[in-house]
Amino acid sequence: MSRIHVLDDNTINKIAAGEVVERPASVVKELVENSIDAGATKIEVEIMAGGTSLMRVTDNGSGMSMEDAKLAIERHATSKIKEVSDLYSLGTLGFRGEALPTIAAVSRFRMRTRKKGDELGTDVIVIGGITHDIGETGCSLGTTIQVEDLFFNTPARKKFLKTNHTEGGRISDFITKLALSRPDIAFRLISNNKATMMTPGNGALFDTIRSVYGSQVANALLALAFEDEDVKITGYITKPSMLKSSRAWQTFIVNGRIISNKAIAKAIDNAYHSLLPKAGFPMVVLNIAVPQCSIDVNVHPQKSEMKFEDEGRIFKAVYKAVIDAIRPVGQTLENVAASVQNVERRYTMEPMQFIASSQSPRDGHCAGNDSVQMPFGITEMENRSSTVSAPPTMSFIEAQNVLKGESAAYHDASAAKDTFVREAQASAYAEQGAATARPLPELSETGISQENIAPIGQVDLCYIIAKGKNALYIVDQHAAHERILYDKFSAMAERIPSQQLLVHPILSFDAREASLVSENQDLFRHLGFDMEACGERDFRLKEVPSDIPVSEAEDMVREILARLYDMHETTAQEIRHACLATMACRAAIKAGDELNFRQMQIVLEELSQTARPYTCPHGRPTILKFSSEELAKMFKRT
């Protein structure tokens, strides 16, 4: 007797169902994609118990005749392709002809369909792969497919399903992504007799995103746009202030098909690499249009993956589109500030120290040392002398001198903290400013700059308070200055400018650190540190970056070494980012540093001119916004 035998059709169908029908969400995917291919403009999905007991998909598509309905439940029967060459120019989501027969093989299946021009529709009932009835019935134009008791005849597969909540969540996630891929179709999802999602179907992706994720996400969207000869990218991505801990809300669509692709995800991560914390992903809806002949959609049974002819080109195109979107060309800080609704709020009744300039901003005066105690824990600073008027558009070094150097002239207590080099720079800038001073930008009668927001004080020597036309802003002075420095360092393609030291400190390392220093001499030199070996484990520090306090140079070198030791198998870009972020963090003004009015104004001006003002290099927000409406709600005026 032969050991090899041909399987019966029932077994074949159940095996095929394992490739196509993994869980209830797989069924919904196949049915809804068929509805889209049928030209539907309205699709309703109803589920019960996470889809395990009932799934019903109703559309207003073209429908089928009785003859076509009979063929549709046969294996490999399809209207999408006719010959093998059609696989290279597919324009539909489904094409194998396996969906309906394999779903019917593991469920109680019923299909009612009617095409335009027919008085009666067709009713098809299949239970466990066996056709029970095919006849005429009255029904609406389009198709309704009902799937009950999924896996009722394959209990081994059924027991591996997750909870109803989890399975229902997978269906919701898929319908969400599909709705984003087709904003021209009105989707409706009903779960356990409750409508959980509805989209307008008006063709506007922005409106679809708003209906799915809410107005908060919609207000944080940045438009994507890229086009060359045969690659076109459109869509939206959220600002770095709107993140989630999972990549699940990122949707990649290629020629209308939802896919997962590591290269596309990596391109987005690389574009956002200095804007995000260690755990966080922006919401992305990425629509990529490429020639159909340049992709292969037949590399996965569920068609969830796609093979590109030139994946490197897609990577570069996505990276360019995201970089252009997050670079706030022509925007002001009002546009990039994160809404306070996106930040975890914790209210306390503790008294706070508020430092505000007693002079009007348009006077151009700075806060001095003398203060007058005001009620409710508010300290008002009185000015005794004015600062040098600086040009409205200052160079980075000039801004640094003012931010880092002027405080030494105002506060004797902090003079010991500053180095000789910094004092010399501050003195040089004062002389230059006296000779080349230009007036500040004109401010309106209310003290608000016509082009930007105006600072009004400090809280806890950590946060800059500023006001705009219809909002209040809070700026983290350290995070903001860290972003300014990081962008400045990043813009220097060649070596970062350095200053030579008159006295060369000797830095001693252990064997591991000394080896790292020797291996990364070029990296340190590009970062502005020039070290020369003067022993087996000793190095002479000859130069440090010009923007770095000499007193902090050794600590910074050791921090960079610690980063290098912790990073394994990293790219040159990641190493450079980590080192620049460390340098920016060490060199930036700290919490506890008192700033006068002019210094606060420079921070805001410099922040508005950076390429990515949303967050610091470690992903923390730099500026938060309280709109007048939000303030009114907090004070219960609405």
- pLDDT given for residue 415 in this prediction: 37
Question: What does CATH list as the number for 214-326?
Answer: 3.30.230.10
pLDDT digits (tens, 9 = 90+) for 229-259: 889 999 999 887 777 767 888 999 998 888 8
CATH topology of domain 9-198: Heat Shock Protein 90 (3.30.565)
The yes-or-no answer to whether 9-198 and 214-326 have a common fold is no
- For residues 612 and 327, is the Cβ–Cβ distance under 8 A? yes
pTM over 0.85: no
Q: Is the pLDDT of residue 147 over 90?
A: yes
| pLDDT (0 to 100) of residue 302 | 55
Q: How confident is the model at residue 190 (pLDDT cuts 50, 70, 90)?
A: very high
Where is pLDDT greater, at 385 or 401? 401
- Mean pLDDT for 623-628 is 86
Give the pLDDT of residue 42: 96
- pLDDT, position 101: 86
Residues 6 or more apart whose Cβ sits within 8 Å of residue 595: 403, 407, 458, 464, 477, 589, 603
Percent of the chain having pLDDT more than 90? 24
Q: What is the DSSP letter of 200?
A: -
509-522 pLDDT tens trace: 877 788 888 888 88
Map out the domains of the chain as residue ranges. Answer: 9-198, 214-326, 332-638
Q: Are 141 and 115 in contact (CB under 8 A)?
A: yes
**81: pLDDT strictly greater than 80:** no
Of 48-62, 172-186, 466-480, the one with minimum mean pLDDT is 466-480
pLDDT band at 367 (very low <50, low <70, confident <90, very high): very low
Q: What is the mean pLDDT of the chain?
A: 75
Is the pLDDT at 399 greater than 80? The verdict is no
Model pLDDT for residues 211-230, shown as the tens digit of each residue: 998 888 888 899 999 998 88
Instruction: Read off the pLDDT of residues 97-113 as tens digits, 9 standing for 90 and up.
Output: 578 888 988 899 999 99
CA 388 to chain centre: 41
pLDDT at 407 over 50: no
Distance CA 214, CA 291 (A): 34
Separation CA 125–CA 132 (nearest Å): 6
pLDDT, tens digit, for every residue of 345-365?
A: 333 333 333 333 333 333 333
More confident residue, 480 or 415: 480
pLDDT at position 76 is: 67
